[in-house]
Structure 1
């Protein structure tokens, strides 16, 4: 990625801070964030923070000032800025004026050391970056766990003591507690598939998919780039006998799946290579539209769409889930498989047929809906060609009226007998002819002698 030209030395900037920093934010930056984003990014954050006191409302500072402060090139400053944005410490705004470009950098508060370890993704990244020994030493020092048995919480709420007006029925409903540590970079995933899986196994969804566990699952999906079937395996692995999610077991399972896929590749933050954006073309043909649809929906949605919006049956969903998990097929590939099987089986979903084709596609390492569609068409063409050749061969064979060998032998024997009989007949006739001629000759001679006597 080329960073030159993204920011110019003459471009101005303002710095704002909307949040209150925790009292020990410098400890977080030095010990917890710096191993992840590097010294340049942390130094840039601190420089911008203290730059607010010196900036003027009338005219912005220039990036040339930052180059002098940090003593690094502008492209390195730009890369450090991207790391701050990615880790959740900076929000950047750009405004184009007539004669200049002005950036506004909004600094975001870092986690306090104790809250940092409650963020699953950041804590896992730090663990992989600095190792077990240093990580657990920092966690013991900063992450103070409250005593477990404090007794019953009998604290009253504001509404139990004060009243400023009579609330309506809707306003009187209890609200969820929002007094929680700040969250960053939560991945959005479709939990409906996990919900369906838990229901199939008669596992209480509410106990497993709590708000904290949903956040944890989302972060692990982002961190380890997990597929839906991998998330399902990890959740089932980490369930306790009481059907509670053991968070440490879940994180370990996610990490083990990552290692099995990427062959012990270490997890650490690096600058992501951003390719130039390619022009996105809308699907033109019906096949392209179908592939686009199969790439973007879940197997459950596909079944419901194919059944005219009716709810997918529990049996069909169970069959799809088991085949999908056992063969490790991505959801788009599974969608093509379901669509293909339904078309081949008069809209009946056979689990045995699903498993047979899924194992073939899994060995072929098919990963996208387009690959699955092309593979299915290729296999179908081979089958039709083979069937056509077989039919043609059978037709030609039958047209020749093949006679069994035993019939041939019997027929040949009969023909030989006929020939022998015919030959015998010819021989007998000749013999009789000779004998008759001799007899006639003998009679003629006898008559002649009588006449002379």
Structure 2
């Protein structure tokens, strides 16, 4: 990640903490269920941090990141990127403290979900299924399952109850119970060592327009009280996973209402999955098929200018569709799709912002999706907390010169001895009134480059229609 040194340095110290005891069985869960989603580097970082904890303890000794770099054989950038992935998938929490210029971290490793939680998660299991395929997914499900034994039919339960084995305390023994409540509590600033249940990934509720959903629901059919906190959390996750807007979600919610006027969560999940597979020919979702959340769409009114039309297009179109449109309807390569999906996962950029990034990068690099260049700009936008299409377009305009320098730095090989007059291709929304932008957009160009420009403009016209 670009300028990762602003976030972390080799001399920065860290301590590893654990949010509850980790068990040997967790290694299998991490290796077979999490590793396909986060990669071997992230798993290696997690295992190394775990190994720094002494057996049955929750805190480690202090170390420097330089030691961690030597242990893993990775540079600081790779460690930082792996850390972000672990944070995003819910396996790590990071805390930082700055004291007189010295920076120290606490890395709190979170136990993974249990196999049952993972396979019933509703989001991670879908991504795993899409990643490894039906056959391998079924094999893993069998690996983490066990056949139930017919105990009730073949055996009789003869287990004694507590009261059948133990007697109640006699009046004379009650004197020992005085003040016992204080004696049983842990000392100040301490807590008992144990295992806490891991929490599944939860998409923020603010990303979904619940007001619009409630407006579409009939109060007599779906009372407001049926939209409990748990139901809202599931709706928010499903909307993110399957890219469902509030209008379509209304129909799915109605189909999940039971005879008690309550929303059946399992029926809600099944309805969302069935709807998505019906619309997408039995395919399951991937990150690049999502569109900008409704709550973060800025172009609500009817577009009046060409720029507003483009904003609307970026907000209502998935990155996969944008890439297809840029290639005249052709399927993007697997490597291009992987670049975009990794950026969305690692940098947590929203689909509309990714669309601006795709168009910008492709026009700057002669319709090539260069991984290093994409990641560098994406990390910059992530640090700037770019959430909307409008913000992304404005930042691209303001930092245009900086990004030009990045492309120049990435060029390798000897420069051509013959000088050519070259025009740099930029999106049309760049020349929006700035004299510098207009002049740059109209620079003279050689005959070959003019042909390239016309071809690209034709593609842009095609995907705007």
Superposition TM-score, scaled by structure 2 size: 0.46
Superposition TM-score, scaled by structure 1 size: 0.47
Larger radius of gyration: 1
